[in-house]
Structure 1
Amino acid sequence: MWARRFLICLLLTVTALPALAFERPFPATAKRGAMTPGYYPEITMDGKTRRLSPGARIWNQNNTIDMPTALRGSDMVVNYTENSAGEIDNVWILTADEAS
């Protein structure tokens, strides 16, 4: 009896796992680039010095927000969007699967 309950619970757990995996939605206007954070609000995007907008958000691979100063000195492949002033307002740090 216990083995049967265990197998049913195991089956339900295994079938629910794919529902936890999701693809992050990126806007159609998102661009791909190589980012190196500098001293806030400046970053280097594809070899050019750019500025983050005052309300810029940087999402890491786990889809949580990182502070720009915590990322300083590391190179990463990202998707990003720009506002009407040309400042970068949203950045998504890509996983290896998303980058390929």
Structure 2
Amino acid sequence: MWRRPFLTIFLSAALTLPALAFDRPFPAPTKRGQMTPGAHPEIVIDGKQRRLSPGARIWNENNLIEMPAALRGSNLVVNYTEDTQGEIDRVWILTKQEASQPVAKQINPMQR
């Protein structure tokens, strides 16, 4: 009788552990900067006022979508991309481990 709960717990743990260790591949035109959120759609990257594109997406450290109005903090280390008009269209808030690596090492080799 005790085998079924043990097996269920073991399988659940075994299936969730790989999800905790992931590398986020970033597209080739990715840039690095320090972001401070502002009044939507404005943000500050590296001390310069920038604008989020209408369809901008922001991912937090856990790779979950973050709403611009919910962002808190300042000088968040981010990777970001720009659209053809120069607006920011994708932002990834980096973990300390990701921030310590150079951007070139994080670029997805399939998109170069």
Instruction: Give TM-score, length-normalised by structure 2.
Output: 0.73
2: distance between equivalents of 1:71 and 1:98?
Answer: 19
Tell me, yes or no, if structure 1 residue 49 matches structure 2 residue 46.
Answer: no
How far apart are residue 28 of structure 1 and its match? 1.4
How far apart are residue 55 of structure 1 and its match? 0.4
Structure 2: unaligned runs, 5 residues or longer = 101-112
How far apart are residue 96 of structure 1 and its match? 0.3
Secondary structure of 1:99's counterpart equals: helix
Tell me, yes or no, if structure 1 residue 40 matches structure 2 residue 35.
Answer: no
Q: Tell me which residue corresponds to 1:27.
A: 27
Closer, same or farther: CA 19–92 of 1 in aligned 2, 3 Å: closer
> How many aligned positions are there?
98
Aligned AA for 2:61?
A: Q
Tell me, yes or no, if structure 1 residue 58 matches structure 2 residue 58.
Answer: yes
Aligned AA for 1:46?
A: D
Closer, same or farther: CA 19–73 of 1 in aligned 2, 3 Å: closer
Closer, same or farther: CA 17–36 of 1 in aligned 2, 3 Å: same
> Please, what is the CA RMSD of the aligned residues?
2.5
The structure with more strand, counted as a fraction of residues: 1
**Poorly superposed stretches of 4+, deviation over 2 Å:** 16-20, 72-75
2: distance between equivalents of 1:22 and 1:96?
Answer: 14
How far apart are residue 85 of structure 1 and its match? 0.1
Q: Which has the larger radius of gyration?
A: 1
Q: Tell me which residue corresponds to 1:80.
A: 80
* Contact kept? 1:38, 1:72, Cα under 8 Å: no
Q: How does 1:7-22 map to 2 (within 5 A)?
A: 17-18=17-18, 20-22=20-22
* Contact kept? 1:77, 1:94, Cα under 8 Å: yes
Once the two structures are aligned, what percentage of the paired residues are identical?
Answer: 71
